[in-house]
Chains A and B, each alone.
Chain A
Amino acid sequence: MLNVYNILETIRMIQDECLDIRTITMGISLLDCIDTDIDKACEKVYNKIVNKAQNLVPVGQKIEKEYGIPIINKRISVTPVAMLAAACPDGDPVKFAKALQKAADTCGVNFIGGYSALVHKGFSAGDERLIRSIPEALAVTDNICSSVNIGSTKSGINMDAVKLMGRIVKETAEKTADRDCIGAAKLVVFCNAVEDNPFMAGAFHGAGEPDCEIHVGVSGPGVVRSALSKYPDASINELADIIKKTAFKITRMGQLVGARASELLGVPFGIVDLSLAPTPAIGDSVAHILEEMGLEKCGTHGTTACLAMLNDAVKKGGVMASSTVGGLSGAFIPVSEDAGMIDAAVEGVLSIEKLEAMTAVCSVGLDMIVVPGDIPAETISAIIADEAAIGMVNTKTTAVRLIPAIGKKEGETLEFGGLLGSGPVMPVKDKSSAKFINRGGRIPAPMHSLKN
């Protein structure tokens, strides 16, 4: 039964509180495109993506009209390209990146993710070549995203890969220094990467997934903040209940859009990612939710506790609203993409150390953090290792997306524009971690009993 209050509430959420579907992402397997001739493989990749995803953007637009809800991004995730690169040892993997870019242009999607390698236990054929090609691939393309999984709870952390990724992140920023180091914003290093993530830059289509499927990522920090603002004196468990109810409504929207997209495209429905994904727009900030709970500024003492409650309540509310939940599911805290986080970082209240603690209780990790351009590669590796250790021990996904601001120092800012926002250069420790990183090897997988 429709009632006036519900109708107006939905419209207010969309119009005033920035509720939107953040992304519909089509996952496409490229395993049947493997070929020993790299040019042939690239041709197959292009043809398969265009064949599967040619209607993705028009269908997205049709659903936007039908339900009156904005769908911000239409994206594609593909099989980690390292698996394809393995079959052509003499080919330059950058050719795959260019083929993916051509497919992205033809389909009109915002991003294709999957220029990826999974090396949590070691490098197989193709992995290391692909990783070494990432800086070039991200510099010559605009809409391709890359990710590397360097650790997992079951296998430990591949410290050789951690060492390599420190250099790759820095090199990627250097190669795009003329464009605000944008390359590094399209590269993420994971521990416990998930195979059905619809969000960039870390989306790829895992080998265990079907040939083609549709995932949906929802958003709505503004809706949650606004709901909480109506109860200034509620206790924390009352706040948790309000968040659950709001997350339920937001996720139902994702489920509806996903089911409709799957029906119109004739592709199975994968998952809804229960997420609170901020944008730099006013009123679309996760930091502001935490401040609404009673923190003077995000990043102060108490932030981790507030975030833990928020993250858990979002999942509890969302799980019942969707038939299949997956992806990264939780609140995201990308610094440059969140107006409240940017403010807190500029004021110096939010530090990398606090963000690291926050990542132990929420979705993903150190995300979109701008660091000084002269940061040593080993320090980047050490930050990656710290973050991966949190993920490994706590059996959760963690990630690092750092942007070394080449030629800039603390106090300056990088401007990416659009959804990526802008980020102040945040200070890092100046003491070296080089000896630890240069040891190489592997951190063994943690034990799962005697937990303390």
Chain B
Amino acid sequence: MRAVVTVIGKDNVGILHKVSGICAETGANVIEVTQSVLQDMFAMIMLVDISGLNSDFAVLVDKMNSLGNQLGLSIHTMHEDIFNSMHNI
């Protein structure tokens, strides 16, 4: 089971560190990261394995949401099934 974490917003020091920190805390294993910074816009998509989570998936979502609010970033954490079912037949 995998989930997709997307982070978009103004670039700042330590975004990747904080996001991956939450992954480590909750037991989500980072599989793949694609990241770009265009002028001062930060955009990152992270694929994480959530089969070894040490808590409910909702806890990971809540933590990411509160980090997003704290840093003024738009962070979405969604199960990969939504993308697979929407874009693949």
Contact = CB atoms under 8 A, between A and B. Distances in A.
Contacts of B82: 10, 67-69, 253, 256
A199 B74 CA distance: 32
Nearest to B74: A15
A6 B61 contact: no
B6 A11 contact: yes
B86 A2 contact: no
A7 B58 contact: no
Interface string B1-12: 000101000000
A336 B21 CA distance: 47
B22 interface: no
B55 to A, nearest CB: 13
Interface residues of B, number: 23
A62 interface: yes
Q: How large is the interface on A (under 10, 10 to 19, 20 to 34, 35 or more residues)?
A: 20 to 34
B86 A68 contact: no
Nearest to B80: A2
A389 B66 CA distance: 55
A67 B84 contact: no
Contacts of B34: 4
A6 B88 CA distance: 10
B45 interface: yes
B72 to A, nearest CB: 15
A7 B74 CA distance: 14
Given A7-B6, A11-B6, A256-B81, A65 B86 contact: no
Q: Which of B45, B47, B78, B89 has the largest number of chain A CB atoms within 10 A?
A: B78
Contact of A2 (B4, B74, B77, B89): B4
Nearest to A254: B85
Contacts of B45: 4, 7
A167 interface: no
B42 interface: no
A249 B6 contact: no
B61 A65 contact: yes
B86 A252 contact: yes
B81 A6 contact: no
Given A2-B47, A66-B57, A68-B78, A8 B85 contact: no
A252 B86 CA distance: 5
Interface in B49-89: 57-58, 61, 74, 76-89
A22 to B, nearest CB: 17
A439 to B, nearest CB: 53
Contact of B79 (A7, A15, A66, A255): A66
Contacts of B89: 320
Interface in A1-31: 1-4, 6-11, 15
4 smallest CB-CB distances across A and B, nearest first, come from A68-B78, A6-B87, A67-B82, A256-B85
Interface of B: 4, 6, 34, 45, 47, 57-58, 61, 74, 76-89
Given A65-B61, A68-B61, A68-B82, 14 more contacts: A3-B87, A7-B83, A10-B86, A10-B87, A11-B6, A65-B57, A65-B58, A66-B61, A69-B78, A252-B85, A256-B81, A256-B82, A256-B85, A320-B89
